[in-house]
Amino acid sequence: MWIFCCGMPRSGSTVHYQLTKEIVESNNVGKGLGWVEPEQFPKLQSNFMNDNRFLVIKCHSYINGAQDLVSRGEAKAIYVYRDLRDVIVSIMNKNKTSFRHVMQSGFIHSILQEYDNWNKLNDIFVAKYENMIKDLAQETLKIAKYIGVDLDKSSAVKIAGKYTIEQQVKRIQSFDYNTYGVRAGKNNYDPDFLLHDNHIFSGNTKQWITMLSPFEIGLIEDIAYGWLVEKDYHIKQTWIIRKIAVLSYGLINFYHPLGYYFKRIVGRLMKR
């Protein structure tokens, strides 16, 4: 059975993969196959056609045919999401890039589309990052129950203890990325644990409050307003601030001086 650890980028999907891989491998009922791009899956599927074990992969983009596999009982999906404002901050930190560059890439729209694609599956385990990181042992038990592997609490605690942020940082610091790492874009990653050499900054929640400007917060909140509200994330900016942020962003892209003028308005309004 395939297990897609397909969560939102920068939201704990690597931890989900690590926990799931550990669950199946420690119980000798499966193995982790690492990171897989959608176009690579058909070949992988062919290679493991007669393998009845749990086969765990990590991905973000929707894999064509996933719904059919899930419907036939040949696959399960494990998804985790996070406050989009913290996702943007995490991307900025990891890639050492600007807010404007992230927004121009269409990142928010693409991850919301992937969220919709995966969450249309009729059998999917969904977790909230902010809850998951509070109790990794409980998350481990939930995953084991979802995929149908018997796991006692002491085993779950042991597995979870391997994947705390402190342990992940130690892993990153001790791994020789230049020698053993796999190249992915501008960075290398550990093919076993799927940790990038610049994977972790803090892992804290609500970083966006101090890291993003009122303008930037308002823009994200306007774009993803419905999703944020549905997921019970607090909306910080008022309707007028959000709309001015959208107008300012549009003007910055098409007419810089006027756009920055509107951006200053946002700042002044927030100080009142």
Give the per-residue pLDDT at 202.
Answer: 73
Give me the phi and psi of 248, to 5 degrees please. Answer: -65, -45
With 0.95 as the threshold, say if the pTM is over it: no
Query: May I ask the CATH class of domain 2-189?
Result: alpha beta
Segment 55-102, tens digit of pLDDT? 999 999 999 999 999 999 999 999 999 999 999 999 999 888 999 899
CA angle 203-125-92, nearest 5°?
30
- pLDDT averaged per 10 residues, the chain (length 272): 97 97 97 96 95 97 96 97 97 90 91 97 97 96 98 97 92 89 82 84 88 94 97 96 86 53 51 48
* Paired residues of 248 in beta bridges: none
Nearest to 163, CA basis, from 195, 124, 130, 206: 195
Give the per-residue pLDDT at 260.
Answer: 47
Nearest to 194, CA basis, from 210, 181, 176, 179: 181
Question: In whole angstroms, what is the distance from residue 166 CA to residue 212 CA?
Answer: 26
Give the per-residue pLDDT at 252.
Answer: 64
Give the per-residue pLDDT at 185.
Answer: 72
Question: In whole angstroms, what is the distance from residue 51 CA to residue 187 CA?
Answer: 32
Give residue for tokens 């193995």.
Answer: 31
Residues of the chain with CATH 3.40.50.300: 2-189
